Amino acid sequence: MADPMKIRAQMKGDVCEIRVLMSHPMETGQRKDNDGKTIPAHHIQLVSVALNGKTVVSGQLAGSVSRNPVLGFKIKGAKAGDKISVSWKDNKGDSRSDETTVA
């Protein structure tokens, strides 16, 4: 299983700002190693952000998102103490889910 995500969720006025750092190689499938062999694609495909169990953002990513993706979202209607959970799934079937509380 991949390394845990770092998630920060902070209230700024009535908007909750979420920043997520995912740990993932995000290999495009375009690069070649030193022997000239193509490095197979390995990247996150699906991302989901939920507020108290309710999906707020569902995202789809390509290999052209930078290594160790940093994603930022904003949601309305959250308050301090609410639960934010983020999950991702990559093209090799690996996945990861982490959560934090809104500060």
Partner 1 sequence: MDLIRRTVLKGAGAGGVLAGLLATGMLKPTLAYANEWNKAAFEAKDFDAALKTIGADNPAANAALVMKAPDIAENGAVVPVDVVSQIPNTSSIAILVKKNPFPLAAFFEFANGALPDVSVRLKVAETCPIVAIAKADGKVYSTQKEVKVTVGGCGG
9 scored as a contact of partner 1 (CB under 8 A): no
Site size toward partner 1 (CB under 8 A) is 38
| Cα→Cα distances 31→89, 91, 101, Å | 22, 17, 38
Work out the number of other CB atoms within 10 angstroms of the CB of residue 17. 16
Among 15, 23, 40, 103, binds partner 1 (CB under 8 A): 15
Min dist. Cβ of residue 62 to partner 1 (A): 5
Among 6, 8, 42, 89, binds partner 1 (CB under 8 A): 89
Min dist. Cβ of residue 5 to partner 1 (A): 15
Instruction: Name residues contacting partner 1, limited to 25-54 (CB under 8 A).
Output: 28, 30-32, 45-46, 48-51, 54
User: Judging by beta carbons within 10 Å of its beta carbon (0-12, 13-18, 19+), is residue 98 exposed, middle or buried?
Assistant: middle
Q: How far apart are CA 82 and CA 51, in angstroms?
A: 7
55 scored as a contact of partner 1 (CB under 8 A): yes
Do residues 66 and 88 touch, judged by C-beta distance below 8 A?
no
74 scored as a contact of partner 1 (CB under 8 A): yes
Q: How far apart are CA 77 and CA 93, in angstroms?
A: 32
Q: Which residues bind partner 1 (CB under 8 A)?
A: 15, 28, 30-32, 45-46, 48-51, 54-67, 69-78, 87, 89, 91
